[in-house]
Amino acid sequence: MKLLELRGLVASVDEKQILNGIDLTVNAGEVHAIMGPNGSGKSTLSNVLAGRDGYTVTEGDIELMGTPVNGMSVEERALTGLFLGFQHPIEIPGVTNMEFLKVAIDSHRISIGEEEMNTRDFMVQVRDISKRLELSTEFLKRFVNVGFSGGEKKRNEILQLMLLRPRLAFLDETDSGLDVDALQVVAKGINEFRSGDNGVVLVTHYQRLLNYIDVDFVHIMVNGTIVKSGDAQLAHEVEAQGYAGLGKA
Amino acid sequence: MSEQSPSAAHDFIGKEYAAGFVTDIEQETIPPGLDEAVIKEISERKNEPEWLLDWRLQAYRRWLEMPEPTWAKVDYEPIDYQAISYFAAPTGDKPKSLDEVDPELLRTYEKLGIPLHEQEMLAGVERDPDTPRVAVDAIFDSVSLTTTFKKELQEHGVIYCSFGEAVENHPELVQQYLGTVVPPSDNFYAALNSAVFSDGSFVYIPKGVRCPMELLSYFRINAQNTGQFERTLIIADEGSYASYLEGCTAPMRDENQLHAAVVELVALEDASIKYSTVQNWYPGDEEGNGGIYNFVTKRGVCRGARSHISWTQVETGSAITWKYPSVILRGDNSVGEFYSVAITNNHQQADTGSKMTHIGRNTSSTIISKGISAGSSSNAYRGRVRMNPGAKQARNFTQCDSLLIGGKCAAHTFPTIESQRSDAIVEHEATTSKVSEDQLFLCRQRGIDAEKAVAMIVNGFCKEVLRELPMEFAVEASKLLEVSLEGAVG
Amino acid sequence: MAVTQTAVAAQGDLLNRLLEKEVQETPWLDRSASRSKLNCVGLPMPWKGRWQYTDFQALVEDALTLDGSEDALQACDGIEVNRLDQPSSEAQAIDPNTNEVVSEFPLVDVNGLLFRSGTKLDTTAQSARLSITDATGSVDRHLISVAEDANLQVEESFRSGNRVTLCYVRQNATLEYALTMPRSEKLGYHCIVVWLAKDSTLKLHLASKGSQIRRNDVIVNTIGKNASATLSGGWLVDERDHLDTQIYMNHRVGSTHSEQSFHGVVDDRARSAFSGFIRIDRDASASEAHLTNRNIALSPLARAHAQPELEIYTDDVICSHGATTGHLDADSLFMMRSRGIDEDSARAMLTKGFLRQVVHSEGGTSLLQL
């Protein structure tokens, strides 16, 4: 099943065109990596997919789970199954992580006609995932991302991913700012999440995350377009040659 | 798309005013206008003793000489005090029991969720043997309709009745304490209230008694062109405790209505008073038409050693709020607290805060104020902490936080610290932040709709204050603030 | 009521005497803006608002008696100096932006009517230095302009009298201003008004003692994007002295930054007041402003008042302020004494340490003996 299809996607931010025609298809069971230098439009792509205010599609189509996203709000896209992993996780003072996770999962359940999760089941599940991500349960009582270390913030993103179980995870620079240990934990989470039913897109600057996650496709993005696609081998070429050589190709 | 998040934020704060209906009932009012004859008539209708009439007249004469205060950060057309009616009451004699109350009035309270039958609970509160019961004093325009649980309270020696009844049955207590905390000459609105106040609540907790239930006064303005001027006096005798709640609503009307109340609290040695308000007067429409002018003087005095007065307020209503619940810490080791959430939206204006005056030794006070502004509203915290020369080792901590939603609203913080003691410690902290687009985006990307997201963020922002509300009121406040999840997850 | 009327009459009388005393000998200086503003706004009511801790009338009466015209300029490199008391062929606006000085600071206009000496100072070099000294007993005014991309360092000392300096910091320029106010038996009013253009920087540093009555106003307006202001300083007020410091930080355009930190010490029977006002205009989104003010009272009869205020008209801001009044930390005192330091020395050390956190100018350090 097609989870995501982009056809000739052109998009701009503040009337400045950043994405210059992108084609991409992600099917269930696939893991893709989008690599590219800073300023190539990777983060813009994540925000456009999620439907963030200020990001405008000027040409082309986006389909999520086979449905065009035109006119869908941020939360509608989320409830359709799109999960965005944030490069810089956002802090929400005053709102505990627990509260936030509970409301998020309940919103998903209500959208498919299920009842709110009972608190005990919720706690059991959250504790279990936290443990697997080597997060102390203490951090569940803290405010969302407030005072979290860089590694904790990223692990918190993965926790949300594992809890909400979206169809398509679009993870923006999830590896940035992580030491090797944290990187392994994050990779482990992503590997546990992936299955034949869902898809993962890893957006990254470096290939080091790919040492821990097997990817099916690698796309190189330069100046708002995908200039080259291939298998995992392509990531190693990038590592060796840099983006500059590929961009001209 | 781009309009979605601000409008969602707007929808959340700007939920339709549910208490905006009018009760169609026959009323008698004194025609608009104010002079000594009107004051005499109010006093006569209420069968008041001579001393109280004199007290009113003196206040009125002082009021005539006083200028209207202009220092608050609020802006409104001058009020025509001669266009207001100073007394409105349902026709007929005061009902002796609930059976005699006009069914239309009973329906009004039913709609508002206020229990006038003693077996009922506040709307929204589930029956639970552990939940403390609530005694209600229902004040409709200028008169008190009924006070529940009177008998049971009497068995404990607690007096909880309308102000009028207190004047009739306990004149010595009223005379001893009335105006001792807020003297009639205190300010313009206090003087006006002292001259024309109609009804209100009176509470006396005798020595050593812990009041067995929460006391709720529910104020309802219904009549048109009428001001409400209630007066509340609470006395906690030595070693006693009372928790008093106050709620207020009014119909949606196009013109502005004046509400100028005075509340006086007296805590004697080792006594403790907890006073909670959920103020939901009609705030006016989206264009800023109509709404209540809420000009209120609330002050408590910790007279005795180790006494304790705590104000908690959730202010969501009124076109203009002008209100500074204060504590005079006279007794050694006494404690004053002020917890406030004030939300303004559309064209609402709030200028609210607290004054803590430390006189006794080792006194301490805490002020936590949370202001949320949305729409084109303006929300100001104004406070003063004063350490008098005798306030040895006094302490104050003040925290004022403002949250802004949208680019057209305003938030202000005007604290004053006056320290006349080198061994006193006063700390003030303030921050201003906004509900950021990033936060909303994160929540929405996780499937939480913007309305719920704003509610969650606002609720988190107010948490320290909401926690101070008694359970019964937390329910009403959470409905007002769209609290989700509090208590569901530990 | 009667009292209020008397006060109003007294204010009117004072205003009339003031307007009559407008300096006439310098027709080349255009004082009309100050005159019309005083005429239309009037004088503030005593002991209210911004004047609740300082005797406004005494300062005006004092300014009316001052007639000295001592030269206050000592040294300057890379600056063109024009004396305002020298005749000039064309009329000079003494303060083209006078209307922007908010009405709560009427002594700026009192100065505008009464000043007899002063200078107009324009930087001519990329990097310039300037020193303004005491001009005891005079009303003077200085107009300082820092040219685009230039850097100006000002060192000023002020004891008593009435002085206003108006500073225009143009695009990408930097003004470093160190003001030192030694103790004085007399009365003094001092005001600095700064306008910050795009990408400009202000670093203002105060160090002060008290005087019989001393009021020090600082008004900073950001009028260009990315302007930034850092204000810091400290004071030690003792004996029966008085010091009232008021900062008005006015963010008028977006993406501007301000950071303020002031520490004050009051001793003996002295009185200090501080007001730090931060205003963020509707058009000043993406601005950031922070203020801290800490005060320590060393003696039981010393008084410290603090009034940090925020007035914010847009949501896209980061603001905070904090103020404390208190005394020397008992734990630190105990720790020092337990190491054999006597109490007086320990107190002195802690007090110095408290001031050293914010006072770093050479003049300030020596004034406060840090």
What ipTM, to 2 d.p.? 0.82
Map tokens 């309308």 to a residue. B162
The answer on pLDDT for B340 being more than 60 is yes
Which residues constitute the domain of residue C160? 2-329
**How would you classify the pairing of strands B320-323 and B349-358?**
parallel
| pLDDT over 90 percentage in chain B | 40
Q: Does domain A2-248 have CATH number 3.40.50.1370?
A: no
A2-13 and A55-64: which strand pairing? antiparallel
Q: Can you give the length of chain C in residues? A: 370
Residues of chain B positioned with their CB less than 8 A from the CB of C302: 422
Q: What is the mean pLDDT of chain B?
A: 83
CA dihedral angle for residue A108, residue A111, residue A115, residue A121, rounded to 10 degrees: -10
Q: Is residue C165 part of a domain?
A: yes
Q: Tell me the chain A residues in contact with residue B5 when contact means C-beta distances shorter than 8 Å.
A: 53
Q: Inter-chain contact C316–B434, Cβ cutoff 8 Å?
A: yes
The per-residue pLDDT for A51 is: 87
Query: With an 8 Å Cβ cutoff, are A90 and B463 in contact?
Result: no
- Predicted pLDDT of residue C4: 60
Of B20-29, B429-438, C142-151, least confident by mean pLDDT is B20-29
Asked whether residue B4 carries a pLDDT value surpassing 60, the answer given is no
Is some CB atom of chain B closer than 8 A to the CB atom of A73? yes
pTM: 0.80
Q: What is the largest CA-CA distance in chain A?
A: 56
CB-based contact B407 C316, cutoff 8 Å: yes
Residue of B nearest to A55 (CA): B2
Contacts for C193 with CB less than 8 Å, ≥ 6 apart:
C101, C108, C164, C165, C166, C167, C219, C220, C221
Chain B partners within 8 Å of C316 (Cβ): 407, 434
- pLDDT at C196 (0 to 100): 95
Average pLDDT over residues B116-141: 63
Length of chain B: 490
Q: Which candidate, B415, B378, B411, B416, places its Cα nearest to that of C279?
A: B411
Nearest chain B CA: its distance from A105 CA (Å) = 8
pLDDT(B441) > 80: yes
The residue extents of the domains of chain A are 2-248
Cα(A127)–Cα(A123) distance, integer angstroms: 6
C8 touches chain B (CB under 8 A): no
Higher-confidence residue of C117 and B358: namely B358
β-strands C139-146, C161-169 pairing:
parallel
Which residue numbers of B have CB closer than 8 Å to A's CBs?
A: 1-2, 4-5, 433, 436-439, 441-450, 452, 456-457, 459-463, 484-486, 488-490
Our CA-based measurement puts residue A229 at a distance from the nearest CA of chain B, in whole angstroms, of 28
Please report the pLDDT score of residue A97 as a whole number: 86
Q: Across residues A227-242, what is the average pLDDT?
A: 86
Closest partner CB to B460 (pick from A75, A77, A94): A94
CA atoms of A176 and A173, how far apart (whole Å): 5
Q: What is the 3-state secondary structure (H, E, C) of chain A?
A: CEEEEEEEEEEEECCEEEEEEEEEEEECCCEEEEECCCCCCHHHHHHHHHCCCCEEEEEEEEEECCEECCCCCHHHHHHHCEEEECCCCCCEEEEEHHHHHHHHHHHHHHHCCCCCCCHHHHHHHHHHHHHHCCCCHHHHCCEECCCCCHHHHHHHHHHHHHHHCCCEEEEECCCCCCCHHHHHHHHHHHHHHCCCCCEEEEEECCCHHHHCCCCCEEEEEECCEEEEEECCHHHHHHHHHCHHHHHHC
Class of residue C252 by CB neighbours under 10 A (exposed 0-12, middle 13-18, buried 19+):
buried
Give the mean model confidence (pLDDT) for residues B11-34.
Answer: 71
Chains B and C touch (3+ CB pairs under 8 A): yes
Residue C24, number of CB atoms within 10 A of its CB: 7
Give the contacts of C16 (CB within 8 A, at least 6 positions apart).
Answer: none
pLDDT value, residue B466? 82
CB atoms within 10 A of CB C198: 18
> Residue B483's pLDDT is what?
30
In DSSP terms, C219 is beta-bridged to: C193, C248
AA identity, residue C34: S
Which among B207, B192, B218, B187 is positioned nearest to B72, based on CA atoms? B187
Query: Per the CB < 8 Å rule, is A53 touching B485?
Result: no
**Percent of chain A, pLDDT > 90?**
46
Q: How far is Cα B331 from Cα B333, in angstroms, rounded to an integer?
A: 6
How many other C-beta atoms can be found within 10 angstroms of the C-beta atom of residue C34?
A: 23
The pLDDT, as a whole number, for residue B481 is 60
Which residues of chain C fall below pLDDT 70?
1-5, 89-91, 93-103, 335-336
Q: Which chains touch A (3 or more CB pairs under 8 A)?
A: B
Candidates A47, A57, A77, A100: best to mutate against B (most CBs of B within 10 A) is: A100
Report CA dihedral (B307, B313, B319, B321) to the nearest 10 degrees: 30
Distance of CA C264 to the CA centre of its chain: 15
Cβ of B413 and C308 within 8 Å? yes
Buried b (16+ CB within 10 A) or exposed e, C321-351: bbbbbbbbeeeebeebeeeeeeeeebbeebb
A-chain residue closest to B8, CA distance: A73
Which A residues, 177 through 196, put their C-beta within 8 Å of a C-beta on chain B? none
Tokens of residue C197, six digits: 């253009």
pLDDT confidence tier of residue B7, bands split at 50, 70 and 90: very low
| Closest-CA residue to B171 (of B47, B41, B49) | B49
Residue B129, pLDDT > 70, answer no
Pick from C156, C199, C159, C148: which is nearest to C176 by CA? C156
Q: Which chain C residue has its CA at the smallest distance from B67's CA?
A: C1
Instruction: With CB atoms and an 8 Å threshold, state whether B460 touches A75.
Output: no
Chain C segment 40-99 residues within 8 A of B by beta carbon are 49
State the chains in contact with C (3 or more Cβ–Cβ pairs under 8 Å). B
| Residue of C305, C310, C315 with shortest CB distance to B430 | C310
Residue A247 has pLDDT above 80, yes or no: no
For B20-38, what is the mean pLDDT?
83
Q: Which residues partner with C307 through β-bridges? A: C275
CB contact under 8 A, B489 and A94: no
C304 vs B: CB within 8 A: yes
Residues A7-24: what's their mean pLDDT? 93
* A vs C contact (3+ beta-carbon pairs below 8 A): no
Number of folded domains that form chain C: 1
Contacting C residues, span 320-349, partner chain B, CB-CB under 8 Å = 320-327
What is the Cα–Cα distance from C329 to B429, expressed in whole angstroms?
A: 19
Asked whether the predicted pLDDT for residue B421 surpasses 90, the reply is no
Considering only CA atoms, give the Rg of chain B.
22
Which of A70-74, B274-278, B356-360, C103-107 reaches the highest mean pLDDT? B356-360
Q: B233 near B261, Cβ under 8 Å?
A: no
Compute the average pLDDT of residues B73-89.
86
Check B442 against A92: CB less than 8 A apart: yes
Sort out which chain B residues have CB atoms less than 8 A from A95's CB and list them.
Answer: 456-457, 459-460
Q: At what angle do helices B50-65 and B36-45 cross, to 10 degrees?
A: 150
Which chain B residue is nearest to residue C290, measuring alpha carbons? B431
pLDDT at B475: 63
B466 Cβ contact list (under 8 Å, min separation 6): B314, B341, B459, B474, B477, B478, B481, B483, B486
Q: Facing residues of C140 across strands?
A: C117, C163
Do residue C312 and residue B419 have CB atoms under 8 angstroms apart? Answer: no
Is C337 inside any structural domain?
no
pLDDT at C26: 86
- Residue of C315, C318, C328, C354 to mutate, interface with B, max B Cβ within 10 Å: C315
**Nearest CA-CA distance, residue B220 and chain C, Å:** 34
A103 Cβ under 8 Å from any chain B Cβ: yes
Q: Give tens-digit pLDDT for B165-210.
A: 899 999 999 999 999 999 999 999 999 999 999 888 999 999 999 9
Most confident option among B69-73, B154-158, C25-29, C334-338: B154-158
pLDDT tens figures, B34-54: 999 999 999 998 889 999 999
User: What is the predicted pLDDT for the residue at B279?
Assistant: 82
